[in-house]
Amino acid sequence: MKISAGILLFKKVNDQIVFFLVHPGGPFFARKNEGFWTVPKGEINDHELPLIAAKREFAEEIGIEINGDFFELKPIVQKGGKKVLCWALASDLNTANVKSNTFEIEWPPRSGKKQVFPEVDRAEWFSYADAKKYINERQIDFLDQVRESFG
């Protein structure tokens, strides 16, 4: 089973918790919106501690190293079978500062042309109601856990 680790940032705005989510970059997700946003996350390398992996992936996808008092959430399993470990962190990250790493693929398929895309093409703060609509449905549990613990 593949295992990913991620970080869910949250903050309070007018006594409501809002959540920091990212949209995957690249041509496969260009026209996909609702149900495709996610917590910044990625696969854990061999012999890497999960929280270290989550922080590394966050830095790669967001372009900002993050530290603080992380709160471990209960893991979830996505539809494809990938287990996702996640930590919540109160933060007031400015989305204007997001600068994702990139990846290269052949695009269009079988064209022989290589193109470079950002791993994350958008990052936004969402209210709970909007986050539930846009996030991968299995990750809604992470939102609920944060609301229960910090609401």
Give the distance from CA 69 to its chain's centroid.
18
Given this model, what pLDDT does residue 10 score? 98
Given this model, what pLDDT does residue 151 score? 81
Within a 10 A sphere around the Cβ of 145, how many other Cβ atoms? 18
Residue 89 sits in a domain whose CATH number is 3.90.79.10
pTM to 2 decimal places: 0.95
- Cβ atoms of 117 and 25 closer than 8 Å: yes
17 is in which domain, residue-wise?
3-150
Given this model, what pLDDT does residue 147 score? 97
Given this model, what pLDDT does residue 57 score? 97
Spans of the chain below 70 pLDDT: none
Number of domains in the chain: 1
**Per-residue pLDDT tens for 29-52?**
989 999 999 999 999 999 999 999
Task: Give dist(CA 62, CA 150) in Å, integer.
Answer: 24
Q: Nearest CA to 70 among 56, 92, 93, 86?
A: 86
